[in-house]
Amino acid sequence: MPEISAQDGAYLVGLARRAIEHYFESGKSLLPQKRDGVLGEKRGVFVTLESYPQKELRGCIGYPLPIKELALAVVDNALHAAFEDPRFPPLDKRELKQVVIEVSVLTVPERIEAKDPSEYPKKIKVGRDGLIIEYGYSSGLLLPQVPVEWNWNEEEFLCQVCQKAGLPPSMWRSPSAKISRFEAAIFAEKEPGGRVERKKLVR
């Protein structure tokens, strides 16, 4: 799977901001001008909004699987994160100047095979992996940056992704639980509308 360049990452973050601005102006979804190369490939992607400078979550929505061209998926999820995250009220136009935008481009999730669930903590790495749990009709996902920001170890990460799915924290130990991992190229604004940098996850 091709690497996301710094130039493409900066374009995607800028595209997410323009998509929200365009929606405020027109009430319509923006059609990206650039959809060549990796931007036209189907990729999983999440768009995250955080308040600035507090860095508190303001919205985060994404496609875990590669169901749509990357540029189009960023536009979709920028609008979803701004206006449709059920945890928050819709973004106000004045707020856009007070949030920073982050785009995470995902690798295709892969099922972690384990003979016994107790092996899972050794098969994942905080600072590299994001996690998905599926159990019955419940599922939950946490991006790779989340356990780093909260200083969780691998076992805590597994417990937290269970809770994200609305499951008991220990449900990852069930043989019926399916655990998948993925990696992400993460790009974020340093300040609202400002310079975009690739995020390096350091514990």
* Per-residue pLDDT, 3: 85
Distances (CA, A) of 41 to 37, 71, 83, 114, 156: 7, 8, 25, 31, 34
Q: Answer whether residue 96 is part of any domain.
A: yes
Q: Where are the alpha helices (DSSP H) in the chain?
A: 6-26, 70-83, 120-123, 145-150, 154-164
CATH classification of the domain holding 149: 3.30.1490.150
pLDDT tens for 81-127 read: 999 999 999 999 999 999 999 999 999 999 999 999 999 999 999 99
Question: Do 88 and 23 belong together in one domain?
Answer: yes
Beta pairing partners, 60: 48
- Residue 11 domain boundaries: 6-107+184-198
pTM: 0.95
Question: Do 127 and 102 belong together in one domain?
Answer: no
Q: Answer whether residue 203 is part of any domain.
A: no
Distances (CA, A) of 99 to 54, 91, 149, 171, 198: 9, 10, 18, 35, 17
DSSP string over 32-53: -S---GGGGSB-EEEEEEEETT
Res 203 pLDDT > 90: no
Res 201 pLDDT > 90: no
> Residue 138 class from Cβ within 10 Å (0-12 exposed, 13-18 middle, 19+ buried)?
middle
Question: Do 38 and 138 belong together in one domain?
Answer: no
**CB-based contacts of 96, cutoff 8 Å, min separation 6:** 17, 20, 21, 24, 82, 192
Contact 126, 157 (CB under 8 A): yes
Q: Number of folded domains in the chain?
A: 2
Res 61 pLDDT > 60: yes
Res 202 pLDDT > 80: no
Question: Do 19 and 91 belong together in one domain?
Answer: yes
Q: Answer whether residue 165 is part of any domain.
A: yes
Asked whether the CA dihedral 174, 180, 186, 188 is positive or negative, the reply is negative
Q: Answer whether residue 141 is part of any domain.
A: yes
Question: Do 20 and 70 belong together in one domain?
Answer: yes
Question: Do 128 and 100 belong together in one domain?
Answer: no
Question: Do 16 and 91 belong together in one domain?
Answer: yes
Question: Do 141 and 70 belong together in one domain?
Answer: no
pLDDT tens for 112-123 read: 999 999 999 999
Res 2 pLDDT > 70: no
Q: Answer whether residue 72 is part of any domain.
A: yes
> Residue 196 class from Cβ within 10 Å (0-12 exposed, 13-18 middle, 19+ buried)?
buried
CATH classification of the domain holding 88: 3.30.700.20
Question: Do 72 and 143 belong together in one domain?
Answer: no
Amino acid letter, residue 54: Q
